[in-house]
Amino acid sequence: MKPRFLVLRAAGTNCDLETAFALESCGARAERVHVNRLLGGQAALDACDALVIPGGFSYGDDIAAGKVLAVELLHHLRDPILALVERGGLVLGICNGFQVLVKMGMLPGIAAPIGVQEAALTDNDSSRYEDRRVRLVSVAERCVFCGPGERIELPLAHAEGKYVPRDAALHRAVVAGGHVALRYVAADGGAPSYPENPNGSIDHVAGLVDRTGRVLGLMPHPERALLRVHHPAWTRETPPGAGEDGHGARFFRNAVLYLRG
Cα–Cα distances (Å) from 155 to 39, 54, 211, 240, in that order, read 32, 14, 27, 22
Question: Is 244 a known active-site residue?
Answer: no
Is residue 221 part of the annotated active site? The answer reads yes
Catalytic residue among 130, 223, 231, 247: 223
Host H or E run for residue 20: helix 16-25
Instruction: Give the CA angle between residues 153, 260, 86 to the nearest 5°.
Output: 90
Catalytic position from the list 158, 171, 221, 247: 221
- Answer for the pair 256, 26: CB distance below 8 angstroms, yes or no: yes
3-state secondary structure the chain: CCCEEEEEECCCECCHHHHHHHHHHCCCEEEEEEHHHHHCCCCCHHHCCEEEECCECHHHHCCCCCHHHHHHHHHHCHHHHHHHHHCCCEEEEECHHHHHHHHHCCCCCCCCCCCCCCEEEECCCCCCCEEEEEEEEECCCCCCCCCCCCEEEEEEEECCCEEEECCHHHHHHHHHCCCEEEEECCCCCCCCCCCCCCCCCHHHEEEEECCCCCEEEECCCHHHHCEHHHCCCHHHHCCCCCCCECCCHHHHHHHHHHHHC
Q: Which of 26, 48, 95, 143 is catalytic?
A: 95
Assess whether 171 carries a catalytic annotation: no
- Would you please indicate which residues are annotated as catalytic (active-site) residues? 95, 221, 223
